[in-house]
């Protein structure tokens, strides 16, 4: 069984469109994250939720909006997609107390977003 | 200068060689993570350590808190070890990890 699953794996869309990426974890973790991996392979935190509460909200455009309907799900909605949004987006989760420094991260397989 | 520095950036070795990847950090961290990103893109957490040494199979991770340095060793390397290895430091003050740029390892048969 997949521990952290995100869909879709690939997403190709045109500029200006709105798209969503879904993430679900079945590990019983309380904290979930969205990371963006750019062309230089740096992983950059975008958002983190702990028990459905937003705890990290890095400087990302307002076009990006996370939604956590419950602690097992953290979806990422992107409005008005731009060329620069093309990247690989990773969902991850960790256990209580939600601090990644004392809990291993479990990653999804990534969603490769290409904006044309 | 990144607060977490990895070296080397790229490493090519022959199968069977002993591999060492280094990670140095300039900030106070409470734990150091080592992760592996496969060529297919998936990311796997290998180790999380705050002191001493951990071993899992052919992989060994060590950390020296005083010297702010960690190493990842691979014994009897195999082509399937080819991947990008990333270290990241976890801070006490917040929920964030500070990421290294990764080391791309290629093991040739």
DSSP B5-47: EEE-SEEEEETT--EEEEEEESS--SEEEEEEE-TTS-EEEEE
- What pLDDT digit, counting tens, does each position of A28-83 carry? 888 899 999 987 777 888 988 888 888 777 778 999 999 999 989 999 999 999 99
Q: In this structure, are residues B41 and B60 in contact, taking their beta carbons and an 8 Å threshold?
A: no
Residues in A closer than 8 angstroms to B45, CB to CB, are 104-107
Does A23 score more than 60 pLDDT? yes
Residue B61, classified by CB atoms within 10 Å of its CB into exposed (0-12), middle (13-18) or buried (19+), is: buried
Please check the confidence at residue B3 and state whether its pLDDT lies above 60: yes
Point out the residue among B37, B50, B96 whose CB comes nearest to the CB of A56.
Answer: B96
**pLDDT score recorded for residue A97:** 47
C-alpha dist (Å) from residue A93 to A30, A64, A106, B82? 8, 19, 5, 25
Q: Hey, is the C-beta of A31 within 8 angstroms of any chain B C-beta?
A: yes
The per-residue pLDDT for range A71-106, each reduced to its tens digit, is 899 999 999 999 999 999 999 998 754 455 567 889
Question: For B45, which of A41, A106, A110 is closest by C-beta distance?
Answer: A106
Distance from the Cα of A59 to chain B's closest Cα (Å) equals 14
Work out the number of other CB atoms within 10 angstroms of the CB of residue A87.
Answer: 18
Give the minimum alpha-carbon distance from B48 to chain A in angstroms, rounded to a whole number.
6
């Amino acid at each position: 069984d997949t521990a952290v699953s995100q869909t879709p794996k690939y997403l190709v869309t045109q500029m200006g469109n709105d798209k969503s990426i879904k993430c679900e974890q079945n590990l019983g973790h309380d904290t979930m994250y969205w990371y963006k991996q750019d062309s230089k392979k740096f992983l950059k935190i975008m958002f983190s939720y702990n028990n459905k509460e937003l705890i990290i909200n890095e400087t990302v455009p307002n076009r990006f909006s996370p939604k956590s309907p419950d602690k097992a799900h953290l979806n990422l909605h992107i409005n008005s997609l731009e060329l620069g949004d093309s990247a690989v987006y990773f969902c991850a989760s960790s256990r209580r107390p939600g601090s990644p420094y004392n809990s291993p991260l479990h990653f999804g397989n990534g969603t490769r977003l290409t904006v044309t | 200068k990144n607060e977490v520095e990895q070296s080397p950036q790229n490493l090519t070795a022959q199968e069977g060689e002993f591999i060492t990847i280094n990670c140095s950090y300039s900030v106070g961290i409470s734990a150091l993570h080592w992760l592996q990103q496969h060529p297919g893109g998936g990311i796997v957490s290998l180790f999380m350590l705050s002191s001493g040494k951990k071993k899992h199979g052919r992989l060994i991770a060590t950390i020296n808190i005083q010297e702010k340095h960690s190493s990842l060793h691979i014994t009897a390397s195999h082509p399937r070890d080819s991947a990008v290895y990333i270290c990241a430091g976890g801070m006490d003050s917040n929920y964030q990890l500070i990421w290294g740029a990764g080391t791309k390892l290629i093991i040739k048969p």
